[in-house]
Structure 1
Amino acid sequence: MLKKLLFAMLLCTFLQVQAQENLNFNNNKEITSPEINSDKSITFRLMAPGAKKVELQGDMLGHNNPVPMNKQDDGLWTYTTPPVKPELYSYSFIVDGLKIRDANNVYQIRDVASVVNVVIVPDGKAENYLVKDVPHGTVSKRWYKSPGNEKNRRISIYTPPGYEEGKNKYPVLYLLHGMGGDEEAWLALGRTAQILDNLIAQGKAKPMIVVMPNGNVAQGAAPGEDSKGMYKPTMQLPHTMDGKMEETFMDILKFIEVSYRVNANQANRAIAGLSMGGFHSLHISRFYPKTFDYVGLFSPAIMPFSKTTSPVYENFDVTLKKQFSNGLKLYWIGIGKTDFLYKSVADYRKKLDEYGVKYTYSESEGGHTWSNWRDYLVTFSQQLFK
């Protein structure tokens, strides 16, 4: 009997070991990638024993893209960056010419038609992007009727901490994305909810509602989220910058002011956007006078309007001067020194200077990047509704 009991125990132990080996995929060591080191360098790892060449591509590398990774004897490819600044970085691997994602990093973001991995190096300004132990707002995806576009459309809305439990009315920031983006861009790449949660908790920003619409009026919603199905996203869609977005913007404003507890007046409305969204913000705020007290142009795509007949772009100089006579509290412009739109923004500023109007200008390092646009949101949102 004792021998049978010992045999059963040994068999059970053997089966447990075998099962554990299966769970560990034949005892292969677990790979950590990316790994943020104490000096704020980042180590990337990829197991690809059959690959002949593996490269790392990422915005933490600056202009040194891509860089070769080093192959170890066991087939593990590695690369450690120099120390980098605190920031949210995106990256991909290139294996024998094929761009792939990091299988050991579940954190991914879609940027137009590309999906990239992301990593946040903490401290400094990146603390704004982290989820902290503070009161949190709510992000909802709502559908609204847009008579001007003859369809139902989806919109992302951030409500500040305490909105659902309270009765207070709030100011509203309308935050617009760039070309190729949609109603998900500012939440995913812009970290809007985390930024607002943290700034509000610190008392640096007023509690506000942030409305993030889809600026592509040809879409009902982000790719894969409406009846058109799972098609491949593209950069430019019909009616992208021809006045249709501006003409139908009041469908959005009316939906918000009927559906949410807001202070529905000029002093409690702000509008801002990046690139194409900066173009839209410029013209929406000008086309609808006495609607917004705060306007933010983040790397705005300021373009000529000669190829469109939209009434939005008529009498530009006259209506622009009139806008500044309507009691604007803040007209904020931000651009990177190496942004490809730098000259057009400089020309626009020259026009404003000739008019003798007051605006706030911020010039940053870098180019047409989310790193800059997140910075601009942090700065701009702290100046609203004071």
Structure 2
Amino acid sequence: MKRLTALTVALLIGVTMFAQQALWGTTPVVSPEIHDNNTVTFRFKAPKAVRVQLTGDFLPVQKNAKFEAPGIVDLKEGQEGVWEYTTPEPLKPELYSYSFIVDGLRMNDPANVYLIRDVSTLTNVFIIGGDRADFYKVNPVPHGTVSRIWYDSPALGLERRMTVYTPAGYETSGKRYPVLYLLHGMGGDEEAWISLGRTAQILDNLIAQGKAKPMIVVMPNGNASQEAAPGESSRGMVPPTMQLPKTMEGSYEQAFPEIVKFIDKNYRTIKSKSGRAIAGLSMGGFHSLHISKQYPDMFNYIGLFSAAIMPNKEVSSPIYENMGGKLKVQFDKNPALYWIAIGKTDFLYKANEEYRKLLDEKGYKYTYYESDEGHIWKNWRIYLTEFVPMLFR
């Protein structure tokens, strides 16, 4: 019996040691390694690979790509099959994303657990701190609360989910707060702004520094056919896609007052036009434009980030009819801020230029912000840090 017990103990020790060796027995690959001068080294262990490449939004844009696609560079194989690439120049402060391409197959970095989903693509991320990028970091400041909540939408016939940020102290202050309704782009959902846009970190830091008023931020799902983000609804783990019905044909705009009504009923809000803002990127900018003109007494602050302007010609909805008349009513009511921002190389630049020309011809006042680059999250995070401090002053 004693010999059997000793044998059992020996076997257990052997299994434990093997498991520990599997976890810790190899020298870890460090990637990405951010150096003191802000150059960055990327590494990927693939002893049998023929070619390992890196693609990331810190690399020059591919010249022949239809849309702005990040550049691609080759890694050099070193000892023990570890491939390596170091950026030739220091990277500027920013949140960056990247992936590897191993013998033609796109792969994430096994040495970096930090990933973000953008529609159906997962990419690794890292932050170079300093300047504006410090707003994207979790800093030692008071933190707000992020909740995923469900509301009933009779207009859409669905129970739907949205993400809500409440500022630090909301739970105990007893105060009423203004609300920013922040809308995502095509293919996004109620997770997009909180993950890719770093909304909670940006708001925490701006509020803590006294650069923004404490506010509630509501991030709804802008796809009128969806209950919630992929994997978070009764449809189960369906593949994320940009090809969704009922996105820019009027349904969402018509149903939007249900969201405002729900928030006003369930949160301590300032229930007036002066206490509400709406902004969005791309499709969300399109929604913000048409919601704000459809309900001119609902929002006092409007932000169009790289916005689509008009629906496809075959779309027919009362939401998009009599645009000129609705804009006149909206601007006659003197919104406190009508803010338009876009990148110089954005594929929607011309549409925005034409829209601004229309506003100029009518004498409608707006504020314009132009950035470098194009239709990318880097710009939309910049726009959020610029827009939020102007609200509710």
Pair in the same fold by TM > 0.5: yes
State the shift of 1:19 in Å: 3.5
SS at match of 1:371: helix
**Could you say which residue in structure 2 is the equivalent of 1:186?**
193
Residue from 75, 78, 82 that aligns with 1:72: 78
d(CA) in 1 for partners of 2:166, 2:20: 46
**Could you say which residue in structure 2 is the equivalent of 1:37?**
35
Residue type matched to 2:352 in 1?
V
User: In the alignment, is the contact (CA less than 8 A) between 2:180 and 2:279 conserved in 1?
Assistant: yes
Percentage of pairs with the same residue: 58
**Could you say which residue in structure 1 is the equivalent of 2:308?**
301
Residue type matched to 1:69 in 2?
L
State the Cα deviation string for residues 118-173 of structure 1 (Å, max 9, x = none).
11111111100000100000000000000111110001000000001120000000
SS at match of 1:148: coil
State the Cα deviation string for residues 217-254 of structure 1 (Å, max 9, x = none).
10000000000011111113111100001000011011
**Could you say which residue in structure 2 is the equivalent of 1:163?**
170
d(CA) in 2 for partners of 1:374, 1:309: 33
SS at match of 2:390: coil
Question: Which structure 2 residue ranges, 5 or more long, are not aligned?
Answer: 1-9, 63-70
d(CA) in 1 for partners of 2:203, 2:284: 19
Task: Check 1:252–1:45 CA distance in 2 against 1; reply closer, same or farther (3 A cut).
Answer: same
Does 2:346 correspond to 1:339? yes
Does 2:65 correspond to 1:59? no
Residue type matched to 1:38 in 2?
D
**Could you say which residue in structure 1 is the equivalent of 2:221?**
214
State the shift of 1:332 in Å: 0.2
State the shift of 1:62 in Å: 2.5
Question: Which structure 1 residue ranges, 5 or more long, are not aligned?
Answer: 1-11
Does 2:158 correspond to 1:151? yes
SS at match of 1:292: coil
d(CA) in 2 for partners of 1:304, 1:46: 44
**Could you say which residue in structure 2 is the equivalent of 1:359?**
366
State the shift of 1:309 in Å: 2.2
d(CA) in 1 for partners of 2:98, 2:316: 41
How many residue pairs get aligned? The number is: 372
Does 2:217 correspond to 1:235? no
Does 2:322 correspond to 1:324? no
Does 2:287 correspond to 1:287? no
User: In the alignment, is the contact (CA less than 8 A) between 1:305 and 1:313 conserved in 2?
Assistant: no
State the Cα deviation string for residues 261-280 of structure 1 (Å, max 9, x = none).
00000001000000000000
User: In the alignment, is the contact (CA less than 8 A) between 2:249 and 2:311 conserved in 1?
Assistant: no
d(CA) in 2 for partners of 1:343, 1:328: 25
User: In the alignment, is the contact (CA less than 8 A) between 2:248 and 2:311 conserved in 1?
Assistant: no
Does 2:390 correspond to 1:376? no
User: In the alignment, is the contact (CA less than 8 A) between 1:246 and 1:283 conserved in 2?
Assistant: yes
d(CA) in 1 for partners of 2:273, 2:154: 23
State the shift of 1:27 in Å: 4.4
State the shift of 1:303 in Å: 2.3
Of 336-345 and 79-88, the range deviating more from structure 2:
79-88
**Could you say which residue in structure 1 is the equivalent of 2:123?**
116
TM-score by length of 1: 0.94
**Could you say which residue in structure 2 is the equivalent of 1:226?**
233
d(CA) in 2 for partners of 1:172, 1:26: 48
Within 5 Å, give how 1:246-285 maps onto structure 2: 246-285=253-292
d(CA) in 2 for partners of 1:26, 1:120: 27
User: In the alignment, is the contact (CA less than 8 A) between 1:275 and 1:300 conserved in 2?
Assistant: yes
Of 72-81 and 187-196, the range deviating more from structure 2:
72-81
User: In the alignment, is the contact (CA less than 8 A) between 1:21 and 1:27 conserved in 2?
Assistant: no
Within 5 Å, give how 1:75-90 maps onto structure 2: 75-81=81-87, 82-90=89-97
State the shift of 1:305 in Å: 5.1
TM-score by length of 2: 0.92
d(CA) in 2 for partners of 1:127, 1:55: 29
